[in-house]
Amino acid sequence: MGLLEQCEDLFKTSDLYKVLGVCKEASDAEIRRGYYKVSLLVHPDRAPDDDLATTKFQVLGKVFAVLADKDQRAVYDEQGILDEESDSLSQDRNWEEHWRRLFPKITQQDILDFEKQYKGSDEEVEDLKRLYLQHEGDMDLIMESALCCSHEDEPRVQDILHKAIDAEEVPAYKAFTQESVKKKNYRKRKADKECKEAEEMQKEMGLNSEDSLVAMIKQRQKSKENGFNSLISDLEAKYCKKPAGGRKGKKK
């Protein structure tokens, strides 16, 4: 089975750009960031219940290898075909090792610095509008996936989305505009529980108040929250080092 067929089978699309969640005009940095975000969702260590996680992870590595190679990407864009025999698509390649070279670990200070510059930025607004569309206004899913957001940020998030609706930048989904009080209260109880767990972890780790964000993130890691994966994926992709060189695929 070829790569395009594998993508269709595993990700319900044979469009390599859609697999990574980026547009055809995406820059190299956007391709790399998209690859990281999606690969984290299916990384074997983070998706232990998915029997196809390893296969999906390997396929994503190949998708990235094609789009990260200038020549292969050009051929794919023009003709919609791939060189399945290229070195970059080798079945024997260690994709985990390749992935870790692309995305080294970030530091706690990177996380704190990112939060300070991200909140209130145009990037945050665009991310929230994207999540709103993706989840069709479901605030539970939006708040779980939004970067650097706690329950205290919910009024601010809602205000951003209401402004986007008023400006007709996004549609007015009923799930958002007519959300029930019961659903809101459940989300608050869940957030309060997570906050308490984060405070307990903060004490256990001996962190000060400035490190509370780190405690929250580590608590989310422990509970496997989607928000943790989303935040870490964006941060590691943002601070990752572009690989030095790399082998070009052989042309037929």
pLDDT tens-digit map of 162-173: 999 999 999 999
Among the candidates 150, 179, 208, a domain finishes at: 179
- State residue 43's pLDDT score: 78
pLDDT at 228: 43
Which residue, among 48, 45, 55, has the nearest Cα to 11 in the 3D structure? 55
Comparing 193 with 129, the larger pLDDT belongs to 129
52 versus 248: the higher-pLDDT residue is 52
Taking 60 as the threshold, does the pLDDT of residue 241 lie above it?
no
Domain end position, chosen among 119, 154, 179: 179
Residue 190 forms part of a structural domain:
no
Do 16 and 73 belong together in one domain?
Answer: yes
Inter-residue long-range contacts of 115-118, CB under 8 Å, 24+ positions, other chains counted: 115/148, 115/213, 118/147, 118/148
Whether residue 171 sits in one domain with residue 127: yes
> How much is the pTM?
0.50
Q: What confidence tens digit (pLDDT) does each residue in 182-232 have?
A: 999 999 998 888 777 766 766 665 555 445 555 555 444 444 334 444 455
Helical segments of the chain, H only: 3-11, 16-20, 28-42, 53-68, 70-79, 95-102, 108-118, 122-134, 139-145, 154-166, 174-177, 181-205, 212-223, 226-239
DSSP 171-235: ---HHHHT--HHHHHHHHHHHHHHHHHHHHHHHHHT--GGGHHHHHHHHHHHHT-HHHHHHHHHH
Same domain, 7 and 71: yes
Measured at the CA of 83, the angle between CA 78 and CA 88, to 5 degrees, comes to 115
Q: CA-CA distance, 107 to 53, in Å (whole number)?
A: 27
Residues 68, 122 within the same domain: no
- Through-space distance between the first and last CA atoms of the chain, rounded to whole angstroms: 18
Assess if residue 216 is contained within a domain. no
User: What's the distance, CA 102 to chain centroid?
Assistant: 15
Q: Is the domain of 76 the same as that of 114?
A: no
11 and 74 both lie in a single domain = yes
Quick check: is 229 in a domain? no
Answer with the residue of higher pLDDT: 241 or 6: 6
pLDDT band at 111 (very low <50, low <70, confident <90, very high): low
Q: What are phi and psi of 14, to 5 degrees?
A: -100, 5
pLDDT, residue 225, reads 39
Give residue 1's pLDDT. Answer: 81
Query: Does any domain span residue 103?
Result: no
Angle at 109 between CA 142 and CA 120, to 5 degrees: 40
C-alpha dihedral sign at 65, 70, 72, 77: positive
Q: Is residue 75 located within the same domain as residue 124?
A: no
Provide the domain limits for residue 169: 109-179
**Same structural domain, 23 and 59:** yes
114 and 78 belong to one structural domain: no
Question: Based on the structure, what is the number of domains in the chain?
Answer: 2
Domain's final residue, options 160, 179, 198: 179
Establish if 242 belongs to a structural domain. no
Higher pLDDT, 83 or 68: 68
Q: Are residues 33 and 73 in the same domain?
A: yes
Residue 52 CA: distances (Å) to CA of 47, 49, 62, 108, 246: 9, 9, 16, 32, 28
Within a domain: 239: no
- CATH label of the domain that carries residue 72: 1.10.287.110
- Give domain status of residue 195, yes or no: no
Which tens digits make up the pLDDT trace of 22-73?
999 999 989 988 888 888 778 777 677 788 888 999 899 999 999 999 999 9
Q: Does residue 41 fall inside a structural domain? A: yes
Q: Are residues 113 and 171 in the same domain?
A: yes
